[in-house]
Amino acid sequence: MKRTYLGEFEEVVLLTVAVLGEGAYGVAITDELDRQTGRAVSISAVHAALHRLQEKGMLSSYLGDATAERGGRRKRLFTVTVLGSRTLREIRAVRDQLWDSIAPQTLPAVSI
């Protein structure tokens, strides 16, 4: 099976949607990315990645209920599809295989 390529940012956005579950919408995804990675990203970059992931079939979305906090507007909520889940598992398997292939003495020790 041919795997669809994901860039690093798309991968972390897809992972973040999986982490958030039913609460995954633009602002929540942006906030979680900042919290998890320490990397400030713009909401427009997140929306662009969400759109690309949806076009690739890795995310689906639906409109949630209107909320008072948003002035009666509805949130677009995202969920990981079966293809998205399979892709994340494949990416993890490749990365795990690569990490397992590194000889322990290859990487210098780093104190944190």
DSSP codes joined into one string, 17-55:
HHHHGGG-BHHHHHHHHHHHH-----HHHHHHHHHHHHH
Dist CA 3 CA 91 (whole Å): 10
- Give residue 5's pLDDT band: very low, low, confident or very high (50, 70, 90): confident
Question: How many Cβ atoms are within 10 Å of 50's Cβ, its own excluded?
Answer: 23
Residues 13-30 have pLDDT tens digits of: 999 999 999 889 999 999
Residues 52-74 have pLDDT tens digits of: 999 999 999 999 887 777 677 88
Domains along the chain with CATH numbers? 8-100 (1.10.10.10)
